[in-house]
């Protein structure tokens, strides 16, 4: 592995990443002649970090295969083939229906796992490459020696994921480069496994998926600690500022800049340029998706418009005067949409050039001229500093002329257009959420636009309806126009990303969490491919915060949660504190900040339970899996990144719930509650095998409805390690939600009762009846582990 | 031909696709031939209007006439309860899908493996993916859907039919079961 | 970029890959205390390599975008969508028919390019990760300081691709690690661009495809020079040994080991173990695919069985006693097939674990016992040394018992089985080559197995027919059984891989090639997905060798070429010399040796034309494109690697012809001969724009038949720089082949005649008529370039 | 329904698929409606037996009767020459595909853009991919195939029909053209 010994050009013999060792046989350089120099620098870091190295620093793609197999034995893939064919090579297409093998010998199951691996590789590559850009950018600005400081004084365990996976303790920006090298080699190796005629075993492919997820998690941590450190974001701050959220927060009398994407440097440069030229109050910076969150972590002046699904509607509203895109989750037709509202367009990433001329080397004056005059609808500028200047200048110059011209329609125009509808239903058949468009068009012809405006909330803004309409009816525009009143009321407050979790917070909640007395950590993350709008995420979030779970969030979900108001008109962020504590709603930040949620789970093992982190993945994952009642919820998971993020959670033993669209991820990882033999653990103290019940029941689960999801979330928070008191609390929530949402007391409570202390008092009678009916016998609560060697350790 | 295309345009299946239930008798025959059928009702069944009733009301009728056990997915059970139906099993759709792939699984009632799984009222794409799983991994079980949209991964499915035709068909199926 | 400054743990401030610079502020180590040490080591290599650095060392993913755009302007993608849908994220599936955009805004064209980028990323990742394994393995064995020496004394320009792309001159194994880091970061970044909502411009996606191809080419060079150096393969040796090829060369009285794949260390360890134990003559080592070629580069004792498509037939023949697989292009059902013939199975790669138990840490005795007893059908062993021992011992122990039991059928059995055929045609409909299986079954029932045996040659051994047959007729087994006589006669000689091309060879042919007097270099490379069997490749190869083109080959194509005999019973390798010269057939080696073919083209620019290579990609590609009449032919291109290899050639300006299955690569890159405006170049001397005709006409072309391919190959060898004499020679071949194979004189000769000296004498009359008919006017022969800055250079 | 599945089982197309030429008149109507049709003949036409002739012989007849210019792909031209047909254009199949996507391309004869491209005798999968290209990128042109296999990406195609039916259809098409 390169990261173990990196050997460079003549002279340098060998250079190892961990316990660095440089030997020169002979070296003639400017400053003299050295012979047989041996530098052992490893000691330095050893001194500062006394933690012993675990068994798997910088693990290879199969180093954790045994752990993966443990998980996959309990949660074997249930395949939901998204295509019966394979089209990956020119032997294909191959028909893989049923037991048929493709021309390379692969089966339908392995093919699904292979596609998942491909997706997670894409996801991991995206975060890693994003991290690479951020680190590079930060080093360019501040030097490799710039200290990493994601948590200020409040955080001692600073990069839990990197420590856990890589076995190193990064202290400066430059330290992250060795990590990136490792990550990139792993992505390459994993991707290679997807090649025709490579890995063909479905479980080995799934193990590689888990590896990709772990790599992705490290990549996210690298990205976020680099940007927190370099850009001075809130540092593990529960009181990170509340910022404006929603289209209606924008003052449309001023020039408005829209930034879409994930890689924040161009946005920051815009903010800096405004500040340097005292224009902060003159020009509004608005954002969609993760760049939006990250720019508000830099300055609370910026405004978040909405999640990924807000792109079309915001652009078509005509409000933005200039559109700047960086990377990831950007509509590929954004340029086309920008042209329609005459908003100059600036692409800023090598990864997303959009066919635009590269003007990076040109003087700002010339670029501004070409954009303002409309000579060029858009340009590519790869220098963030130049982006800052050009964007602001163009925004100020075009804004007066543009006068926020958008594509919104009057009711009269809507009626007119709706009349062209032939009720062919192509739109509805193209709509991912099967929305009743033809019906609403019919209503609209009669002047009733309520049906159309009602769709606004549940529409994911994909535009497929318009693409499908043979009459070229601008359906999405009709929907948003009909809902223009709703749009005009989108005025919320969102807590911006606080970053990591403080050690002191962990210390405080570690015990209650591991014992089960705080019923769980529920993390709402991921994209906006919601089945019924973003409101559902907010509702779930509030429900669990109310129940005093610790609620975390990030990315598009964090934005959706903010777009909701309770009876008092308060958003969840205004109602619940931002602390990592029972009843808190913790927005960690953009997608890459997800690493802090994993990091919190890891830190519980380290800070609360004093387990060694360093290169000790398997033990820590086993710890988290058996003791930390955390659940990820990606209600609108859409992307390959979301797939990778979920995989990272799985390997750490944290189950993930997705919405119904999540079945398109090609397979679930489901346990079999009804198979008792699946649910034994080793007792670390005694070495006995103990039945602990199906906790957590699933590793990857797609819920059909919000209600089903909530019940499952409550259930998935149970862990073998729960104390009686803790289990009783968790069961109370589970039963309560089940009753309320599904109408009955669950019939599987008996599986979760180990001793009578587990039984919640409220439903004692009914539960006792269940226990009797199932010949329940009391059991012990073990010190649970799936790892044989954990027992041996105790024995010694 | 349009009628036997997947309802959601892009959800094209592979070479093996559902036979169309061209008349109610087909569905009845399947149900009557089954030793241990199960009716899986998704949450949309309670949202979809059919006549003055909801789809779920017809499904309940069908289950009762045909002595078919019901499993409610999503939050369907609440709707069943509302209608006084208390025997419904509760299970998430993906869990049922997974269980059905196990030829030794004896069903929620513990009697014997289901041999016919009838789906209705799930979101189209979710039913599509679950039926896909069953098509590939549950060769021992027949699948049918009673939605009014063509589900290519089932063994039997209606074509994309109008609500009117659908209602007629459902009524006929229920009626025939009585006989 | 990491490879530019790699900063490591505390103490090491900064470490740059090129012009290494290490600074320590303070360093306390075992051996003392150093303060403010600055080592500049770059000088060392500078001194030995005076070539000035070009503009694009270690180019970023868009550094060569302008060059790519030049190519793509002439050869815009012609899309052949392989699926109308996209299924890459959970917004999907999306219908992209016609002008419809997906939920992320992407179009069908961009989607095809995106899938190509995905494929080339997989291909590049595979080669890079393979290279990584080889370098690591070699360093483990010989140390990072082990010198790279791929060409002995005959090669001065040793790593032309690395020099060209990276701008460094690697001298030791360790130098390759910095290159690998760069490659892995590029693969990651490119893969990231595939993510939903990243690059959506089809031409930018294509530019990234070209970058992936270039990265792949570097990866291949790294792999091959590492293995040549470490394992002592033939070093640019035109007289590399002839080795046995074909099933019938195997002595079935001895234990037989079969190795399948690409990564040679386990195979080498087997050979070493045999040698160390004086068993070389007792046990036969046979191979399929690239490992086969590479093990014969290590020892001429090993035998090549056939290309990738020989897997099923050879295993089913029952000859191999133990099967060892490493990585890439291995049937995923190989284990299953091995079990059927009771051959123990050993997997050796992390990338292809096949679900087998990892026995790497177990003593060899125990593994051998379990395999021989059949307790385990297969194992995973990740230590090549242990693979060597276990394989040989198992082979010797099981061979006597197994008695080469295979699955071949007697004629009687064939008739019996064929009787079950219901003529349902599912087999034929599943067969990639639409072979007439039902008809042959019918004939077989009547005892006539000729039709079945005739299919042997054209069958690609995919097994899909068997998968499709509802009667479970073992169709492929029937075919090979019917052809058992043919199989029994597979006894050929193949020249093993010689590696690089010598500088002296380049010096000799450089002039004639660039002037056009050697009509071209034709490289037959890639997989065995042939439309009508491997014979066609051999025939094409011989035709061009006869015509005194320089013929190169590698990988499965090189094997197919060897499986052919002329009237005298000689294989092409026995008939034509292995020298890089007119009329030579140059087997460079396994797939990764393809880099030497690109390298030869590059070296022509360097050695013959004295252009600087170092970090000077654009100029050299422009040179190759305009002057070196090289064409790649991947007649059976199947894999993602093949896609990547082709892309690498394209970026270098070398066109690639594929067989008809190649249309499944989703798009062609075709020029428009009929659009005169497309075919102007700059004259470097004068700066004038000169029409040069459509040379080469296409960049990526799928031929329907061998005949069409041959005509096109001849045509694609023309270059603007051809002298009159050279052009006349090239036209002669083109016309001659056209006449012979298509029945007429081509009607587009006038496009290729610039001055009357271009006109071949033989067809002068007809050509003159054509010229007149098309109002032909004489033109000049420029000093051609597509690069404006090349003129400026001249002007200065 | 099997007859209108792709001949190569796995070559499933998307939502837009070819109409089936259910009777020869359909093909004739298309041909006669076309202002500038072209017949693209792949190399298999000379290999496939139809009666005592080869497929290419019937195609030649068709072209002559219908005054349709021929372009031979692969090495087809050699077979045309053998049969004394000298006006055939020569062009690789992928080149034709690319040219046809250009609405300004005036055809090999330089007359006017083709409005109907009739394919026959190419390897199934290659015809499939090229017709796919045309379906998406040549909306200005109609495509038809005269092979006896269903080509989903064409506008019109036979179903998967027997050689006997095929021959009858071809003969009828040729005959009707005369009228
Ligand atoms: S990768 Fe395998 S299953 Fe997929 S198309 Fe190629 S041969 Fe077929
Ligand atoms: S834009 Fe909205 S209404 Fe239109 S298809 Fe997408 S989700 Fe449905
Ligand atoms: S696709 Fe267009 S015409 Fe058809 S129902 Fe929808 S809105 Fe009406
Ligand atoms: S949550 Fe999803 S859509 Fe939103 S920014 Fe992250 S990956 Fe993109
Ligand atoms: S896997 Fe996706 S792209 Fe390939 S055939 Fe299936 S739907 Fe199409
Ligand atoms: S990547 Fe784009 S086109 Fe593909 S499924 Fe997702 S939204 Fe649709
Ligand atoms: S194994 Fe041979 S005959 Fe069978 S489908 Fe493959 S190519 Fe055709
Ligand atoms: S699939 Fe089997 S039964 Fe059908 S025609 Fe082929 S060999 Fe005969």
The beta-carbon neighbor of C84 closest among D9, D14, D125 is D14
Q: What is the pLDDT of residues B74-101, one digit of tens each?
A: 999 999 999 999 999 999 999 999 999 9
Same-domain check for residues C80 and C6:
no
Residue B107, phi-psi category: left (phi > 0), alpha (psi -120 to 50), beta (remainder): left
Structural domain count of chain A: 5
Is the CB of A555 inside a 6 Å radius of any atom of ligand 4?
yes
Residues C708 and C565 in one domain: yes
Q: Give C668's strand partners.
A: C78
Select from A262, A290, A534 the residue to mutate for testing ligand 4; criterion: most ligand atoms less than 8 Å from CB: A290
Residue ranges for chain A with pLDDT beneath 70: 1-48, 792-796
Whose alpha carbon is nearest atom 3 of ligand 4?
Answer: A527
How far is A466 from A420, CA to CA, in rounded Å?
A: 13
State the pLDDT at residue C156: 83
Q: Which chains have 3+ CB pairs within 8 A of B?
A: A, C, D
Whether residues C175 and C199 share a domain: the answer is yes
Does D124 sit within 8 Å of C434, measured CB to CB?
yes
- Flag whether C633 is in a domain: yes
Q: Are β-strands C698-702 and C667-670 bridged in parallel, bridged antiparallel, or unpaired?
A: antiparallel
CA-angle at C102, arms to C101 and C103, nearest 5°: 125
Nearest to D78 among C85, C96, C742 (CB): C742
Is D12 an interface residue toward A (CB < 8 Å)?
Answer: yes
Interface contact D11, partner A, CB < 8 A: yes
Peptide bond into A696 cis (omega under 30): yes
Residue of C nearest to A529 (CA): C91
Interface of A with D (CB under 8 A): 85, 92-95
Kindly state whether residues A606 and A718 are assigned to the same domain. Answer: yes
Q: Which of the other chains make 3 or more beta carbon contacts under 8 angstroms with chain A?
A: B, C, D
* Claim to verify: residue C650 and residue C724 sit in the same structural domain: yes
* Closest chain D C-alpha to B170 CA, distance in angstroms: 25
Yes or no: say if A721 and A627 are a contact pair by the CB < 8 Å rule. yes
- B15 interface with C at CB cutoff 8 Å: no
Choose one of C203, C231, C259: the last residue of a domain.
C231
What residue spans define the domains of chain D?
Answer: 43-176
What span, in angstroms and rounded, lies between the C-alpha atoms of D77 and D42? 9
C-beta atoms of D123 and C704 within 8 A: yes
Does C755 reside within a domain? yes
Q: How does strand A689-691 pair with strand B89-90? A: unpaired
List residues near ligand 7 (CB under 6 A). Answer: C 430-433, 435, 437, 455, 459-465, 475-476
DSSP state of C491: -
Q: Which residue of B has its CA nearest to A748?
A: B90
Closest CA to C504 of C226, C232, C157, C221: C157
SS3 per residue for C363-379 = CHHHHHHHHHCCCCCEE
Q: Whose CA is nearest to atom 5 of ligand 6?
A: C92
Residue A155 confidence (pLDDT)? 81
φ/ψ of B49, rounded to 5, equals -80, 135
What is the residue-wise DSSP string for A377-417?
A: SEEE---HHHHHHHHHHHHHHHHHHHTT------HHHHHHH
**Distance separating alpha carbons of residues C760 and C245, to the nearest angstrom:** 41
pLDDT of residue A10: 30
Interface contact D84, partner B, CB < 8 A: no
- What is the residue whose two structure tokens read 């191959």? A94
The whole-angstrom separation of Cα A215 and Cα A502 is: 23
Q: Do C432 and C394 have their domain in common?
A: no
Residue B82, classed as helix, strand or coil, is helix
**Contacts for A32 with CB less than 8 Å, ≥ 6 apart:** none
Within this chain, do residues C370 and C467 fall inside the same structural domain, yes or no? no
Nearest to A427 by CA among A404, A452, A448: A452
Place of tokens 């290519």: B152
pLDDT the model gives residue C10: 30
Q: Going by CA atoms, what residue is nearest to atom 6 of ligand 6?
A: C89
Our answer on whether the CB atom of A279 is closer than 6 Å to any ligand 1 atom is no
Indicate yes or no: CB of D14 within 8 angstroms of CB of B15.
no
Among left, alpha and beta (phi > 0; psi -120 to 50; other), residue C396 is alpha
CA distance D94 to C747: 18
Full domain range(s) for residue C294: 246-402
Helix (H) or strand (E) holding C598: helix C594-603
HEC profile of chain D: CHHHCCCCCCCCCCCCCCEECCCHHHHHHHHHHCCCEEEEECHHHHCCEECCEEHHHHHHHHHHHHCCCEEECCCHHHHHHHCCCCCCEECCHHHHHHHHCCCCCCCCCCCCCCCEEEEECCCHHHHHHHHHHHHHHCCCCEEEECCCCCCCCCCEECCCCCHHHHHHHHHHHHHHHHC
Q: Which residues of C touch A383 (CB under 8 A)?
A: none
For residue C139, tell me if it sits in a domain.
yes
Q: What is the DSSP letter of C604?
A: I
pLDDT of residue C48: 57
* Contact status of D74 with chain C (Cβ, < 8 Å): yes
The pLDDT of residue A793 is: 56
Straight-line distance from the first to the last Cα atom of chain B, in angstroms, rounded to the nearest whole number? 33
Band of the pLDDT at D179, cuts 50, 70, 90?
low
Residue of C183, C181, C596 lying closest to A9 (CA atoms): C181
pLDDT of residue C46: 43
Task: State whether C324 and C207 are in the same domain.
Answer: no
What is the C-alpha to C-alpha distance for residues C673 and C588, in angstroms, rounded to an integer?
A: 33
Q: Assess whether the previous peptide bond of A642 is cis (omega < 30° from 0).
A: no
For residue C94 and ligand 6, the question of a CB distance below 6 A is answered with: yes
Nearest-CA residue for ligand 1 atom 4 is: A86
Instruction: Check CB contact under 8 Å for A92 and D12.
Output: no
Superfamily of domain D43-176: TPP-binding domain (3.40.50.1220)
State the pLDDT at residue C541: 98
**pLDDT per position as a tens digit, A488-520:** 999 999 999 999 999 999 999 999 999 988 999
Give me C408's structure tokens. Answer: 């071949």
What is the rounded distance in angstroms from the CA atom of residue A541 to the CA atom of residue A561?
A: 7
Which residue shows structure tokens 């006549």? B51
Same domain, A314 and A366: yes
| Residue from B2, B12, B18, B157 whose CB has the most chain D CBs within 10 Å, to mutate | B12
Q: Does D12 touch chain B (CB under 8 A)?
A: yes
Q: Which residues of A touch C105 (CB under 8 A)?
A: 331-334, 336, 463
Question: A37, A67, A173, A198: which to substitute to probe chain C, counting the most C Cβ within 10 Å?
Answer: A198
- As a residue count, chain C comes to 796
In a domain, A237, yes or no: no
Q: Are A437 and A455 in contact (CB under 8 A)?
A: yes
Q: Output b/e per residue, C110-131; b: 16+ Cβ within 10 A.
A: bbbbbbbbbbbbbbbbbbbbbb
Taking CA atoms, C402 is separated from C284, C286, C347, C388, C392, in Å, by 15, 17, 20, 20, 15
Closest alpha carbon within chain A to D14: A83
Q: Which residue has the tokens 């003052």?
A: A251
Q: Within chain C, which residues score under 50 in pLDDT?
A: 1-47
* Strand ranges, E, within B1-157: 19-20, 37-41, 49-50, 53-54, 70-72, 89-90, 116-120, 142-145, 156-157
Contact between C510 and C609 (Cβ < 8 Å):
yes
Q: Which of C109, C112, C194, C196 to mutate to test the pocket of ligand 6 (most atoms within 8 A of CB)?
A: C196
pLDDT in tens, C623-639: 999 999 999 999 999 99
d(CA C318, CA A364): 72
Q: Are C371 and C390 in contact (CB under 8 A)?
A: yes
Here the CATH number for the domain that contains residue A149 is 1.10.8.190
- What pLDDT was estimated at residue C3? 30
Q: Which residues of B touch D14 (CB under 8 A)?
A: 10, 12
C92: nearest CA partner in chain B? B10
Residue B87 structure tokens: 């025997």
C-chain residues near D119 (CB < 8 A)? none
Chain B partners within 8 Å of A84 (Cβ): 13-16, 132, 136
Could you say which of C170, C205, C231 is where a domain stops?
Answer: C231
Task: Provide CB contacts within 8 A for A365, sequence distance 6+.
Answer: none
Question: By three-state DSSP, how is residue A265 classified?
Answer: helix
Interface check for B12 against chain C (CB to CB < 8 A): the answer is yes
pTM: 0.96
> Does the beta carbon of A437 lie inside 6 Å of ligand 3?
yes
Same domain for A462 and A570?
no
D-chain CB neighbours of B18 within 8 Å are none
Check C327 against A184: CB less than 8 A apart.
no
Tell me the C-alpha distance between D22 and D159, whole Å. 8
Q: Which CATH number belongs to the domain containing residue A326 in this structure?
A: 3.40.50.2030
Are the beta carbons of A135 and A180 closer than 8 angstroms?
yes
Question: Which of these three, A171, A201, A231, is where a domain ends?
Answer: A231
User: Quick check: helix, strand or coil at residue C58?
Assistant: coil
- A463, closest residue in chain C (CA to CA): C103
């Amino acid at each position: 592995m390169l990261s173990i010994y990196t050997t460079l050009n003549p002279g340098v013999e060998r250079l190892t990443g961990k316990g660095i060792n440089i030997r020169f046989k002979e070296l003639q350089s400017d400053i003299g002649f050295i012979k047989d120099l041996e530098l052992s620098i490893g000691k330095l870091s050893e001194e500062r970090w006394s933690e012993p190295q675990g068994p798997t620093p910088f693990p290879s793609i199969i180093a954790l295969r045994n752990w993966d197999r443990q998980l996959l034995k309990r949660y074997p893939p249930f395949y939901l083939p998204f295509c019966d064919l394979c089209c990956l090579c020119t032997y294909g297409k191959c028909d893989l229906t049923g037991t048929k093998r493709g021309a390379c010998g692969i089966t339908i199951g392995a093919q699904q796992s292979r596609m998942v691996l491909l997706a997670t590789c894409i996801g991991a590559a995206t975060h890693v490459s994003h991290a690479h850009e951020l680190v590079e950018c930060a080093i360019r600005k501040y030097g490799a020696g710039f200290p990493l400081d994601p948590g200020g004084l409040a955080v001692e365990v600073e990069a839990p994921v990197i420590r856990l996976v890589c076995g190193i303790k990064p202290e400066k920006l430059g330290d992250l480069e060795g990590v990136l090298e490792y990550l990139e080699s792993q992505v390459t190796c994993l991707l290679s496994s997807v090649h025709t005629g490579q890995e063909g075993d479905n479980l080995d492919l799934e193990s590689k998926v888990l590896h990709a997820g772990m790599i992705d998690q490290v990549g996210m941590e690298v990205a976020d600690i680099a940007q927190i450190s370099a850009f001075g974001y809130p540092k593990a701050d529960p009181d990170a500022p509340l910022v404006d959220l929603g289209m209606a927060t924008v003052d449309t009398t001023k020039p408005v800049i829209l930034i879409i994407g994930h890689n924040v440097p161009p946005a920051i440069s815009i903010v800096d340029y405004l500040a340097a030229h005292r224009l902060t109050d003159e020009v509004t910076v608005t954002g969609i998706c993760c760049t939006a969150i990250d720019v508000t972590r830099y300055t609370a002046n910026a405004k978040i418009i909405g999640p990924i699904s807000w792109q079309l509607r915001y652009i078509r509203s005509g409000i933005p005067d200039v559109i700047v895109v960086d990377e990831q989750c950007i509509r590929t037709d954004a340029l086309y949409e920008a042209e329609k509202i005459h908003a100059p367009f600036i692409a800023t990433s090598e990864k997303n050039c959009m066919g635009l001329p590269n003007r990076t080397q040109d003087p700002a004056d010339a670029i501004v001229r070409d954009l303002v005059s409309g000579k060029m609808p858009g340009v590519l500028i790869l220098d963030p500093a130049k982006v800052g200047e050009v964007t602001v200048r163009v925004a100020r110059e075009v804004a007066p002329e543009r006068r926020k011209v958008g594509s919104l329609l009057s009711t009269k125009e809507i009626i007119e257009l709706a009349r062209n509808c032939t009720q062919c239903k192509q739109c509805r058949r193209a709509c991912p959420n099967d929305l009743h468009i033809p019906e609403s068009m019919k209503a609209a012809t009669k002047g009733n636009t309520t049906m159309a405006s009602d769709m606004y909330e549940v529409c994911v803004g994909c535009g497929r309806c318009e693409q499908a309409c043979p009459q070229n009816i601008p359906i999405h525009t009709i929907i948003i126009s009909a809902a223009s009143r709703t749009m005009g009321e989108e005025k919320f407050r969102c807590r911006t990303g606080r970053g990591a979790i403080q050690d002191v917070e962990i210390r405080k909640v570690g015990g209650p969490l591991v014992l089960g007395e705080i019923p769980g950590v529920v993390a709402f993350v991921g994209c906006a491919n919601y089945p019924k709008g973003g409101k559902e995420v907010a509702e779930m979030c509030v429900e669990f915060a109310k129940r005093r779970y610790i609620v975390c969030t990030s990315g598009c979900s964090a934005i959706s949660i903010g777009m909701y108001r309770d009876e008092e008109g308060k958003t969840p962020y205004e109602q619940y504190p931002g602390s990592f504590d029972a009843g808190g709603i913790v927005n960690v930040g953009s997608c890459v900040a997800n690493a802090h949620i994993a990091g919190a789970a890891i830190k519980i093992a380290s800070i609360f339970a004093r387990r060694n982190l360093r290169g000790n993945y398997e033990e820590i994952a086993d710890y988290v899996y058996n003791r930390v009642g955390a659940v990820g919820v990606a209600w609108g998971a859409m992307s390959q990144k979301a797939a990778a993020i979920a995989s990272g959670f799985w390997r750490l033993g944290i189950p993930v719930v997705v919405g119904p669209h999540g079945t398109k991820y090609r397979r679930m990882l489901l346990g079999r509650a009804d198979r008792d033999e699946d649910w034994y653990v080793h007792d670390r103290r005694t070495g006995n095998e103990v039945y602990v019940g199906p906790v957590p029941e699933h590793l990857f689960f797609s819920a059909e409805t919000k209600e089903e999801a909530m019940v499952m979330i409550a259930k998935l928070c149970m862990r073998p390690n729960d104390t009686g008191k803790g289990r009783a609390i968790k069961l109370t929530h589970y039963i309560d939600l089940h009753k309320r949402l599904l109408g009955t007391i669950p019939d599987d409570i008996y599986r979760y009762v180990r001793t009578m202390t587990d039984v919640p008092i409220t439903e004692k009678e009914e539960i006792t009846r269940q226990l009797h009916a199932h010949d329940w016998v009391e059991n012990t609560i073990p010190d649970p582990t799936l790892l044989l060697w954990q027992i041996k350790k105790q024995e010694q | 031909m349009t009628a036997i295309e997947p309802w959601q345009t892009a959800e094209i299946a592979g070479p093996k696709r559902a036979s169309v239930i061209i008349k109610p008798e087909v569905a009845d025959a399947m149900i009557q031939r089954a030793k241990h059928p199960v009716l899986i009702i998704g949450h949309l069944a309670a949202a979809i209007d059919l006549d003055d009733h909801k789809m779920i009301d017809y499904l309940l009728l069908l289950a009762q006439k045909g002595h078919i056990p019901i499993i409610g997915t999503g939050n369907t059970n609440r709707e069943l309860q509302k209608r006084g139906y208390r025997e419904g099993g509760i299970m998430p759709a993906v869990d049922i899908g997974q269980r059905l792939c196990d030829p030794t699984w004896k069903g929620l009632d513990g009697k014997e493996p289901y041999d016919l799984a009838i789906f209705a009222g799930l979101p189209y794409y979710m039913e599509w993916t679950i039926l896909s799983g069953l098509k590939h991994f549950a060769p021992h079980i027949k699948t049918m859907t009673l939605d009014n949209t063509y589900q290519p991964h089932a063994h039997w499915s209606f074509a994309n039919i109008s609500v009117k035709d659908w209602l007629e068909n459902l009524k006929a199926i229920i009626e025939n079961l009585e006989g």
